[in-house]
Amino acid sequence: MQIEISGHHIEVTEAMRNNVEERLQRLVSHYPSLDKISVFLTVERKEQSAEITAQYMGAQVAVNAKDHDLYAAIAAAAKKMDSALGHRKGQLHANDKHKPAA
């Protein structure tokens, strides 16, 4: 899987890159069909945000998290992405079940 990391008002350091990859390893193991994940880090005056976008089963899944600490924002966004991908997976498998006709 390919992880693309970019930043706005910030230079992405090796420590940030390692943190993002470490947080997203869980997604790789749970959702092996993910090919590419884009991470966009933004630093503003009083808040930092992390936005994660991925293509999963024909739909774009995007999450955003903000915090005063960039590493906390990355962790929150990774957790939200795990939840969003689980929700998308559930939507796809809900149509697989045959419901009895009334």
pLDDT in tens, 59-99: 899 999 999 999 999 999 999 999 998 887 766 666 666 66
Answer yes or no: is 12 within a domain: yes
pLDDT of residue 80: 96
CATH (domain of 73): 3.30.160.100
Answer yes or no: is 15 within a domain: yes
Answer yes or no: is 102 within a domain: no
pLDDT of residue 88: 76
Distances (CA, A) of 33 to 18, 50, 90: 22, 23, 15
- Region 41-50: mean pLDDT is 94
Number of structural domains the chain divides into: 1
The reported pTM is 0.84
63/54 Cα distance (integer angstroms): 9
pLDDT of residue 7 exceeding 70, the answer is yes
Confidence of residue 100 (pLDDT cuts 50, 70, 90): low
Range of the domain at 48: 2-93
| pLDDT tens-digit map of 19-30 | 999 999 988 888
Answer yes or no: is 101 within a domain: no
Confidence of residue 35 (pLDDT cuts 50, 70, 90): confident
